[in-house]
Structure 1
Amino acid sequence: MSSGSKHEPITSTKFGTFGGVFTPCTLTILGVIMFLRFGQVVGQSGIFTAIMIVLAAKVITTLTTLSLSAIASNTRVKGGGAYYLISRSLGVEFGGAIGVLFFAAQAISVAMYIIGFTEALAATFPSLADNAMGISTLVNLITFVCVYIGAGWTIKVQYFILAILAAALGSFYAGAIADFNPEYLQANMRPSFLEGESTFTMFALFFPAVTGIMAGANMSGDLANPSKSIPTGTLAAVLITGLIYVSQALLLGCARPAAELIGNNMVIRDIAVWPILITAGVFAATLSSALGSMMGAPRILQAFARDEIFTSLKFFGSGSGLSNEPRRATVLTFVIAQVCIVFGDLNAIAPIITMFFMITYGLLNLATFYEAVTKNPSYRPTFKYSHWITSLLGMIGCFGVMFLINGLWATMSLLFIGAIYWFIRSKEVEARWGDLQSGVIFERARKALLKLEDEVYHPKNWRPIVMALSGSGWTRPHIPIYGHWLTSGHGILSLAHVVTGDLEELSERRDRYEKQLRGFIKREELDAFPAVACAQYVSDGIESLIQCHGLGGLRPNTVLLGWPRDHSRADSFGATVRLIARTKRSILAARFLAHRDEDDETDKATATDIADHWTVPSGTIDVWWRGMENGELMLLLAHLLHRNPEWRENHVRVLRVVQNEQAKDEIVNHMKELAASSRIHFEPEVVVSDHPVAQVIQSTSREASLVLMGFQTPEEGHEVAMYESLELLAGDLPRIILVNSAGGMTLES
């Protein structure tokens, strides 16, 4: 299945926040319910309860918008809106189900809005009532032509509709203020429910009015900066439309008695100073919603078809022109809408459309919840106002509203999406994009681990699975402690020890060392596993551990070991490094001066000594940048270390040395771009100096809490030279981790 990269559009026009997100969201939210049904909600519920209904509905859509904003700012958003975001998080099964369901909802919505327009037109001009089918068909055709020409033309039409809508609201506000009546205000504070009606039924009547928050996200492929425009534009639309609905609830209750609010669907027109503007507003609201759905549905289908989940839909993945317009998908959307116009009924199709939207919003919240709660290192959204709790509440709210509106339709809709999910899963469709499946499976037990074996690996799901050659733990406590900090909440740590000697006599010693490691892990409350191997030589034991330790997708990808104390151990260290590199594992060598004068492993550190190692040193976390080869891993490790609560005050610096001032600005800009693309906050610093690099590094990082530097695997015979060159760079810096990356991760995932 294609990831869609070869279909990247060469777009001549990209839309901004206002035109591409705010306008379509606002026009969809301020729709036909505002003009034709909101008076009834206020009349039956009373002003106070009506405002509570608006606020409750807005809370749910705001929570969903926060999830949408977080997930949209965590990935490069392409075409497909909610389908793209959900599929890239929850996987191909949920993504495929949402692709079918959300496209169908958007396509059928076109018919619903056009039927609503025709009914409003017939109410205004009764003589046209007998030609309702022909009028609906004509409006559907006009809407289709506008969208077929291109999104740019449609956006311009929406600007005109937005102006009409603003004029209609102005006319209503002027009339309502002029008709203010304190007696109506006092009387309408209390509910006046008709028989069989309640706060819940009024909430169900109103809620579809606020389900327009995806209108902007559906244009994701046509936005210049979707990760910025989607959060800003959608939240602005939610806020402004919320203020409009709250103020309308208050003014309606102050301008007319409850009986008139309940019995007159066109009460807003009667209140307005210029009624013709309200009529125009009703037409504009329904037409704009039809245009928004006619724009959004083809883009969902186009993105869905390009992923080739169903090969029969591949035909609809093609785009036309420089702007990559989904014209084939637009034709299909027109046909579906026309079929619904001919055979559909507004009251019959409205509930199922609402259910489809709510499932989409609920799964979007679920996707963001999983992204956050599984602590995937690739989940680094630039939008910071979403939390797994808000996502969970949004998901509960969406599914709760479904059953509140109509329990039967809610059940049928969930069964429908479940059937699609099962069908796609039974086909064993292979996705070639990174999703949260591996991240979720990582947190589960044996059955989930077996499933993890079948998942396609993607750099997005890289986690530090560290094997620390820590001896017994007591002898070099800085290694397991730093291994714990680098993996805590994100990966897996194993404390490894090699027992050397005659294999026939090592069984008892092996058991003793493993017990000792378990005791150390328990006492220090480490999230780690012991790993002890017996071998005649240390190198053989390390090779055995690297190849055999772990299970399935939980095999170590990184080895953490100590740096040699002196030249005499440089040869054996270089051989060990080459051995680890051949197994395609990353290498972290901890050079801590405090341990230079330690004796052999038989000496144990005291409990007080180990407690000292848990004390986080003050200063920055310095990453000395020399390129992406080792730099990606160094920066990601610095980010993971900084995420530990104890290290939050230790800010990350990325440093580089240049010899002339002219190169400084270019490198600083490059580092800022790196920070933006990686979504990792760090302080870029370029040091201009013609002094030896070693002198610059030691003077600049003298007060650092930890220094990260890259190194290359030495060739045979060059071990001592490598050791001496790195010792020269390190000098008397107290804490350094030298990094040799084997790849497997990318900062932009």
Structure 2
Amino acid sequence: MSKSNKRTTQKMQKQTKRETQKLQKQGGNKTTSMIKMKKLEDLGANKFGTFGGVFTPCTLTILGVIMFLRYGQVVGQSGLINAIIILLIAKIITTLTSLSLSAIATNTRVKGGGAYYLISRSLGVELGGAIGVFFFLAQAISVAMYVIGFTEALSDVVPLEIQANFGAWFDVSAASAVNFFIFICVLIGAGWAIKVQYFILGILLLSLISFFAGALGDMRLDNLYQNLQPNYVDGQSFFTMFALFFPAVTGIMAGANMSGDLKDPGRSIPKGTLWAIVFTGFIYLIMALVLAAACAPQSLVSDSLIVKNIAWSKTLVVLGIFAATLSSALGSMMGAPRILQAFAKDNIFSSLRIFSHGSGVNNEPRRAVILTFFISQICILLGDLNAIAPIITMFFMITYGMLNLSTFYESMTKNPSYRPRFRYSHWSTELIGALGCIGVMFLISPVWAIISISAMGALKWYIARKEIEARWGDVQSGVAFERARKNLLIIQDERYHPKNWRPIIIALSGGVWSRVHLAIYGHWLTAGHGILSLGQIIVGNMDDLLGRRVNQEKILKKFIRDNELSAFPAVVVGSDLTESIKSLVQCHGLGGFHCNSVLLGWSTDPERTKDFASLLRALVGLKKSLILLRTDPNKFSRWEAPTGTIDIWWRGQKNGHLMLLLAHLLLKNNEWRTHRIRLLRIINSEAGLDEATNHLNELIHISRIKASAQVIVAKDVTTAMRMTSVRSAVVFMGFTPPEEGQEEQSFKNMTKLSDHFSTTVFVSSVGGMELDA
């Protein structure tokens, strides 16, 4: 930091201290003063503009080692036509990705972390975290690729007798020394490194001028003609050349990686990145034409330093190669630690938390720089340029694909918060960009593509398994919302058919803990094929009970989460229990997802008989099927189905269809899979035995539900039912809500029928489903 900046920062800190003391005297809080302090410190920190912070890093990273040391090989083997196609495909992918990058960068306040920050805030912590790891590794390994490229050029300049003193270790020693030099430059700080890049940019442009000047005298039409067609050597193809070239254009993220150090990321990232793509694309296009016209195909294929050898000044080109490789390495060494720092700040892996700390007023990620150095050094010891480039291509392709996908999701979900100031990105371009990245991965190497995607999927699964709570909104909730909204409208508009009937049940479980059996049976009866809501009524004055309502809803949510139920809480405050239940049943739900069934516990209070029967009649009048569960809560074993059969006593189709369907749904649960369904009927004469049995078997056949039919001949219905179902797990019986004045007798009969059964489910159906649908 300059002396003037230091004086400015010190002055601002003193000013903040005075304002903090003033606030404290006035009763202000520390949080306000801390915010002011942070703002003032930010003003004193190094903040870069579009040219220095985005355009220069992007340009220097793109015009790097591949351009000087491998572009001739790409043109020579692919031929001029295919080389231009490779350039166009690569530029189209990076341009589409840059459009997506620009859209997200202008839609949110961009902090440090570049692409990782943008993707994680869109696609969520799991996928964002997986991408963060891949993107960091891609950038760290890129440092090694650029340093190895520098060493190749250095080997051509250093006399052989000097190299002989090092033996086989010359390349590794030189690369390690350069890597250490880059490490020290970045460790000092981004401000110093950015200033070095201006000097490097000047050398790079002079070297390109030298190349074009020298190549003009060698340009021949016969060379151009020979270089039009491919000239692949053994094992090489269009896609291997693409994989070799693509790392040359991955520098589009160099500016975004510096997002935390930019004055105005939302303005600088789109402008600087797109101008860098246009400028470097023009350079690569002209360079391909010049190489094809100035060199014979064999020279392009075999001479990795062809750019130097045909230049006007070899010294300038060598300096240009050094400048390009050093600047690219410098850009990656600056970008990778900032990705890791942002990743560590999100605390996805607690072991990486130490890398979240920054140093100085600029919050330099020095700990992350050290780790990046060690990773790049390991790659220097293990790899070579041709081996490293395809691996980096895969890592960058995944990152770019996910960036495009996150922007596509943001566009498609129509989230009101997605309002990018950058207007040139469309969902179609974002989708094409995502598909293009994934497609190119498989075209380059299906095996490595599968390995890369599988590794990312495994990492995503691991992060999700850790149940990390994201502290930011992501696009997944937006995707779910938009999908739900559209599906609700479709269900609302489409004509209902009994074939599509599903149980949408409100279980009036109250405070849950005293009526756990209702919640669990509700879960069993929906069996993942319907929707369950747990309803609770709080009787009293709403103004006095609003706090209790919020608390009870939290308790319900915790119960649902702890028991892994697929259910929703529904808590209502009302002055009257019966009227509140009616209101809840009428209003709960949305569109085609209004409840069609109500699950209630068995009432044992004789004084509430009339009120209970009135409620049942009202619910039937609201076209809700009734499910009354009678069981002994004290004998109920949570999540353990009782032993025995599932018995359905058939007394006609009115309630029979729903009883058979609910019994079938019970079997869909793991706890009930080994049970079997019996469809039972009582007749009073042997003469009708065959006909009744055939009728039940026909119902079973039509319904396509696995069950057995049994017809009992008996005069005493109650006794026959008791003897047949005394060891059953659950008994289904139909009923009709008692008419006014007959409540006491009706409930007495139902009690008599179910007294000897462990669990009885009384069902009153309002229709809506058909067994043969």
Flag whether TM exceeds 0.5 (same fold): yes
Cα 1:226/1:547, change in 2 over 3 Å: farther
Aligned with residue 473 of structure 2, among 410, 434, 450:
434
> Given the alignment of the two structures, is residue 63 of structure 1 paired with residue 96 of structure 2, yes or no?
yes
Q: Determine the structure 1 residue equivalent to 2:434.
A: 395
TM-score normalised by L of structure 1: 0.59
The one of 48, 52, 77 aligned to 2:110: 77
Shift of 1:446: 11
1:222 aligns with 2:261: yes
> Which residue is equivalent to 1:101?
134
Task: Please tell me the residue identity of whatever aligns with 1:45.
Answer: S
Task: Pick the aligned partner of 2:332 from 265, 270, 293.
Answer: 293
Greater Rg over alpha carbons, structure: 2
The whole-number CA distance in structure 2 between the counterparts of 1:254 and 1:404 is 29
The answer on 1:34 being equivalent to 2:67 is yes
Give yes or no for the alignment of 1:50 onto 2:89.
no
Distance 1:192 1:105, change over 3 A: closer
Partner of 2:312: 273
Mark the CA change 1:196 to 1:341 in structure 2 (over 3 Å): closer, same or farther. Answer: closer
For residue 309 of structure 1, what is the aligned residue in structure 2?
Answer: 348
Give 1:331 shift.
1.5
Alignment of 1:210-609 (within 5 A): 210-444=249-483, 544=583, 548-550=587-589
Deviation of residue 54 (structure 1)? 0.9
Match for residue 137 of structure 1 among 171, 176, 193: 176
Whole-angstrom distance in 1 between the partners of 2:101 and 2:586? 42
Please tell me the residue identity of whatever aligns with 1:37: R
Q: How many angstroms apart in 2 are the aligned matches of 1:112 and 1:355?
A: 14
Kindly provide the amino acid, as one letter, of the partner of residue 250 in structure 1. Answer: L
Q: Residue type matched to 2:306 in 1?
A: V
CA RMSD in angstroms, aligned pairs only: 3.0
Distance in 1, matches of 2:236 and 2:372, equals 36
Structure 1 range deviating more: 108-117 or 225-234:
108-117
User: 1:447 Cα deviation (Å)?
Assistant: 14
Q: How many angstroms apart in 2 are the aligned matches of 1:96 and 1:448?
A: 30
Q: Structure 1 residues 148 and 372, CA, compared in 2 at 3 Å: closer, same or farther?
A: same
Against the structure 1 CA distance between its residues 261 and 18, is the aligned structure 2 distance closer, same or farther, given a 3 Å change threshold?
A: same
Give the alignment of 1:591-740 within 5 angstroms.
none
TM-superposed deviation, 1:80: 0.2
Equivalent position to 2:227, from 177, 188, 193: 188
Report SS of the residue matched to 1:375: coil
Deviation at 1:344, TM superposition (A): 3.9
Partner residue of 1:121?
Answer: 154
Q: Deviations over 1:259-296 (max 9, x none)?
A: 22222111111211001111111111111111111101
Would the aligned equivalents of 1:442 and 1:448 in 2 still touch at CA under 8 Å? no
Amino acid at match of 1:82: A
Q: Distance in 2 between matches of 1:435 and 1:7?
A: 26
Q: For residue 677 of structure 1, what is the aligned residue in structure 2? A: none
**Which digits, 9 at most, give the CA deviation of each residue in 1:412-437, with x for residues without a partner?**
11111111100010111001111112
How far off its partner does 1:190 sit? 3.0
Instruction: Show the counterpart of 1:112.
Output: 145
The CA distance in 1 between the partners of 2:198 and 2:102, in whole Å, is 24
Distance change >3 Å, CA 165–CA 317, structure 1 → 2: same
Distance 1:410 1:550, change over 3 A: same
Give unmatched runs, 5+ long, in structure 2.
1-34, 489-573, 595-773
8 Å Cα contact 2:47/2:262 also seen in 1: yes
CA distance, structure 2, for counterparts of residue 423 and residue 7 of structure 1:
35
Relative distance call for 1:173 and 1:118 in structure 2 (3 A) is same
Aligned mates of 2:383, 2:446 — CA distance in 1: 22
Alpha carbons of structure 1 residues 193 and 350: separation in structure 2 relative to 1, 3 Å: closer
Q: Distance in 2 between matches of 1:79 and 1:551?
A: 41
Q: Which residue of 1 aligns with 2:661?
A: none
Cα pair 1:351 1:409 within 8 Å, conserved: no
After superposition, the C-alpha distances for 1:544-603 in whole angstroms (9 at most, x for unaligned) are 589944469x99xxxxxxxxxxxxxxxxxxxxxxxxxxxxxxxxxxxxxxxxxxxxxxxx
Checking the alignment, whether the CA contact within 8 Å between 2:244 and 2:389 is kept in structure 1 is no
Distance (Å, rounded) in 1 between the aligned partners of 2:587 and 2:385: 63
Helix, strand or coil at the partner of 2:348: coil
The two structures have a TM-score, normalised by structure 2, of: 0.57
Measure, in 1, the Cα distance between the counterparts of 2:210 and 2:326.
20
Cα separation, 2, equivalents of 1:314 and 1:397: 35
Work out the CA distance in 2 between the residues paired with 1:285 and 1:34.
9
Distance 2:392 2:314 in 1: 31
Among 158, 168, 173, the alignment partner of 2:197 is 158
Corresponding residue number in structure 1 for 2:600? none
Contact 2:101/2:403, CA 8 A, preserved across alignment: yes
Contact 1:22–1:234 (Cα < 8 Å) also in 2: yes
What amino acid is the match of 1:237? Answer: A
Give the residue type in structure 2 aligned to 1:206.
Answer: F
CA distance in 2, matches of 1:132, 1:193: 28
Partner of 2:651: none
CA 187–335 in structure 1, closer or farther in 2 if over 3 Å, else same: closer
Query: Residue type of the partner of 2:123?
Result: L
Kept in 1, the 8 Å contact 2:62–2:249? The answer is yes
User: Partner of 1:152: helix, strand, or coil?
Assistant: helix
1:86 is aligned to 119
Please state whether the residue corresponding to 1:79 is helix, strand or coil: coil
Matches of 1:426 and 1:412, distance apart in 2: 21
Contact 1:204 1:404 in 2 (8 A): no
Q: Which amino acid aligns with 1:163?
A: G
Separation in structure 2 between the aligned mates of residue 348 and residue 274 of structure 1, nearest angstrom: 31
| Matched residue type, 1:241 | T
SS in structure 2 at match of 1:46:
helix
Unmatched 5+ stretches in structure 1: 450-534, 556-749
Take 1:262 and 1:352, find their aligned partners in 2: how far apart are those partners? 22
Cα distance between partner residues in 2 of 1:120 and 1:262: 17
Alignment counterpart, residue 23 of structure 1, candidates 42, 47, 56: 56
Give the counterpart of 1:148 among 187, 190, 207. Answer: 187
Deviation at 1:445, TM superposition (A): 5.1
C-alpha distance 195-351 of structure 1, shift in aligned 2 (>3 A): closer
2:152 partner amino acid: E
Per-residue deviation, 1:345: 4.1
Q: State the distance in 1 between where 2:237 and 2:149 align.
A: 25
| 1:179 aligned counterpart, secondary structure | coil
Question: How far did 1:186 drift?
Answer: 2.9
Q: In the aligned structure 1, how far is the partner of 2:177 from the partner of 2:487?
A: 54
Contact 2:61–2:328 (CA<8 Å) still a contact in 1? yes
Q: 1:226 to 1:546 in 2, by over 3 A?
A: farther
- Counterpart of 2:421, as a letter, is T
